[in-house]
C-alpha cells in the first residue's frame, strides 16, 4: 500500500485449509511479485473484477441448510418474517447442494453422520462457504461424548462459527454479515477452472485469454 498499489489478496478462505482435502494447497498460495506495467495493469483490472464478483457473491448467497438438531427451529425463525435473512441477500434455501454456495450446518454432527456431511460439501460447486450454526456444529457443544464430532471443522473447513445453544437470530445475522465481509475481501477470478498441462504450455493466447485464465 505504501507505493499506492492496491493490495494483492491471497487466495485464501475459499481454498479449503484442511490438508486432507486438498494436499499442498497451502504452499502454492504465495503472493506474486509485480514487475511490469502490463502485469500491474492486469492486477488492477483483476482487483476490480474480484471486487465486483465478491460483491455479487456476498449478496446472493444461496444456502443449503444441513439441519440435524434443535437449532433448526432457530433457523426457521431467522428465515421468517421478524428476522428475515432475505434482507441481507441470503434469500433462497436450496435443498440440493449443487445449487447452493453457503452450507449452514445447523445442529449436532456425530461420527456416523460425518461422511454424509462431507459428501454434501463435496457436491457443492465452487465457490462455497460454510457456516457452523450453534455450538454443536462449532465445537460439539455439551455433547462431549463418544459419538459426537467435536466441531464440524474436523470434517470440512468452516468459514464462520456462530455460537449459542441455540444462537439468537441476531447472532446468525451477525455471522452472515461477517461472512459477507469475508467474501467481499476474498480474491475472486472469472475463470478458476484448473487447466490441462497442454493448455498451460500454450504460448499463443490472446490478452483477454491470459487475463481470464489467471
Partner 1 sequence: MAQALVDLLRDNFKEAVLSSHSHRGDEVAVVRRESVQEICRFLKDGEARMQLLRYIACVDLLTYDTEMTGGGALASNEVPAYDLAKKAPREPRFQLGYNVYSVVRKQSVRLRVELRSDDVKVPTVTSVWRTADWWERYLFDMFGIDFIGHPNLKRILMYPEFQGHPLRKDYPTRKRQPLVAELEFPDLIRGPGPGPGGAGVPMSQTHVGRKNVDPTTYD
Q: CB 119 → partner 1: shortest distance, Å?
A: 6
Contact window for partner 1 (CB under 8 A) among 47-55, 98-106, 115-123, 205-213: 115-123
Nearer to partner 1, 118 or 212 (CB): 118
Q: How far apart are CA 26 and CA 13, in angstroms?
A: 11
- Half-sphere exposure at residue 108, Cβ-oriented, CA atoms within 13 angstroms: 14
**Site for partner 1 (CB under 8 A): which residue of 15, 155, 160, 176?**
155
Q: How far apart are CA 124 and CA 213, in angstroms?
A: 22
**Residue ranges in 130-149 that form contacts with partner 1 under rule CB under 8 A:** 144-147, 149
Q: How far apart are CA 23 and CA 124, in angstroms?
A: 19
**Site for partner 1 (CB under 8 A): which residue of 41, 73, 80, 111?**
111
For position 183 contacting partner 1 by CB under 8 A, the verdict is: no
Q: CB 118 → partner 1: shortest distance, Å?
A: 8
Q: CB 150 → partner 1: shortest distance, Å?
A: 7
For position 154 contacting partner 1 by CB under 8 A, the verdict is: yes
**Site for partner 1 (CB under 8 A): which residue of 43, 59, 77, 150?**
150
Burial class for 12, CB neighbours closer than 10 Å (0-12, 13-18, 19+): middle
- Cis bond leading into 22, ω under 30°? no
DSSP state string for 175-206:
HHHHHHHHHHHS---S--PPPPHHHHH-----
Residues that bind partner 1 in the complex, under the rule CB under 8 A: 111-112, 114-116, 118-119, 144-147, 149-150, 154-155
Amino acid at each position: 500500500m505504501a507505493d499506492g498499489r492496491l493490495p494483492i489478496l491471497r487466495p485464501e478462505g475459499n481454498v479449503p485449509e484442511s490438508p486432507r482435502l486438498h494436499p499442498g494447497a497451502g504452499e502454492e498460495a504465495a503472493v506474486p511479485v509485480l514487475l511490469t506495467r502490463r502485469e500491474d495493469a492486469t492486477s488492477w483490472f483483476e482487483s476490480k473484477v474480484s471486487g465486483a464478483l465478491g460483491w455479487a457473491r456476498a449478496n446472493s448467497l444461496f444456502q443449503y441448510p444441513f439441519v440435524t438438531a434443535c437449532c433448526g427451529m432457530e433457523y426457521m425463525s431467522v428465515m421468517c418474517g421478524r428476522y428475515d435473512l432475505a434482507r441481507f441477500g441470503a434469500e433462497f434455501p436450496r435443498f440440493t447442494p449443487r445449487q447452493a454456495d453457503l452450507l449452514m450446518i445447523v445442529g449436532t454432527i456425530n461420527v456416523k453422520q460425518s461422511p454424509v456431511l462431507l459428501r454434501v460439501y463435496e457436491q457443492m460447486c465452487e465457490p462455497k462457504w460454510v457456516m457452523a450454526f450453534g455450538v454443536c456444529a462449532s465445537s460439539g457443544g455439551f455433547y462431549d461424548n463418544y459419538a459426537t464430532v467435536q466441531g464440524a471443522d474436523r470434517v470440512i473447513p468452516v468459514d464462520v462459527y456462530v455460537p449459542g445453544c441455540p444462537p439468537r437470530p441476531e447472532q446468525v445475522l451477525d455471522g452472515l454479515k461477517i461472512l459477507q465481509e469475508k467474501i467481499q475481501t476474498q480474491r475472486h477470478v472469472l475463470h478458476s477452472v484448473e487447466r490441462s498441462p497442454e493448455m498451460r504450455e500454450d504460448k499463443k493466447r490472446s490478452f483477454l485469454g491470459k487475463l481470464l485464465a489467471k
